Amino acid sequence: MSKTQLIGDCLYGYVPGEERVCIENSVEQISAFIMNHRFDGQVKITKYLDIIEVQTVGQFIDQCDNKRFLNDELLPILVPMQSGEVEVPEFVPYVDVSYSVKNVRVVNEEGKHLLINIDFFDSMEETLVNDEVYDTEEELIAKYPKSISEKLAEHIVNAIPYERDEFIDEYVYDYCDVENAKDLLNISNESLMELWGTEDEKLESFTGVVKQKIHNMTFGELLAYTFKHNMNIRSIN
């Protein structure tokens, strides 16, 4: 499946009365989502920051401001599905590895210690990392020193998610100081001072650089960064 001209690796799908799901950014999966929910009322497909890309009534498009995408990409695939000329493909919710807590130490029913990954987006799914089991947690840690405890994983998963822009504003105005900003941007004191000034223009330039850097970080990178600097903030979408 080829990626559409829309921004991002995935979009978000909203169906009345259901939790939102991730949709792979391909015209086939967008069409499959629309067709699979054609009897569920008004369906919305949005991109980052919940900006509407497509809104439907039944199986028909009610709103799509991007006319180039609508006419050149979506309708040529969707219309044959609507008319029954082609089979509707299976809709498979998109899983973004950015929303994965990896290498979590757990104990199975036999009392053995092993590793799992927790993938979550409004729900959780556990997958085994490998077939290895250990008699003690110490043995597991010795083999995988970067693994994390189940307690820490639960803290991460159960944290209240919020949008990345909300996190950026909170970071810039409440948590950004010389030390963690230097670490974030990986620059020297001199370069940081060059960016960080009291003049409005320089301050705007500095915050612009910081915001762009955070926008480009993965969820895992952001999470590691906030833990490293003991920031008392929630998890980030």
Residue 43 placed within a domain: yes
Residues 6+ apart with CB under 8 A from 164: 48, 214, 215, 236, 237
DSSP 173: I
Q: Is residue 236 part of a domain?
A: no
Contact in structure between 53 and 100 (CB atoms under 8 Å) = no
Task: Give yes or no: residues 203 and 169 share one domain.
Answer: yes
On whether both 192 and 209 belong to a single domain, the answer is yes
Tens-place pLDDT, residues 83-105 = 999 999 999 988 766 567 788 89
Residue 92 inside a domain? The answer is no
**Which distant-in-sequence residues (6+ apart) come within 8 Å of 213 by Cβ?**
184, 185
Q: Which domain holds residue 188?
A: 164-228
On whether both 23 and 76 belong to a single domain, the answer is: yes
Are 223 and 179 members of one domain?
yes
Nearest residue to 63 via CA among 46, 88, 78: 46
pLDDT at 75 over 90: yes
Residues 124, 158: Cα–Cα separation, whole Å = 10
Q: Strand pairing of 60-63 and 51-57?
A: antiparallel
Neighbours of 237 (CB within 10 A): 17
Look at the chain and report how many structural domains it folds into. Answer: 3
CA distance 82 to 128: 39
Residue 113, token pair as written in the block: 């210690």
Residues 172 and 189 in one domain: yes
What is the predicted pLDDT for the residue at 55?
A: 93
DSSP tag of 97: G
- Domain-terminating residue out of 158, 179, 194: 158
Same domain, 113 and 61: no
- Angle separating helix axes 75-82 and 27-36, nearest 10 degrees: 30
pLDDT in tens, 36-46: 999 998 999 98
Nearest to 57 by CA among 79, 86, 80, 37: 37
Q: Is the pTM of this model over 0.75?
A: no
**15-72 pLDDT per residue, tens:** 988 878 889 989 999 999 999 999 998 999 987 656 788 999 888 899 998 899 999 9
Is 174 among the domain residues?
A: yes
Residues 102 and 74 in one domain: no
Q: Is residue 89 part of a domain?
A: no
Residue 72 and residue 29 share a domain: yes
Six-digit token string for 219: 């969820």
Mean pLDDT value across residues 191-209:
68
Cα–Cα distance measured from residue 179 to residue 84, given in angstroms and rounded to the nearest whole number: 60
From 82, 112, 133, give the residue that closes a domain.
82
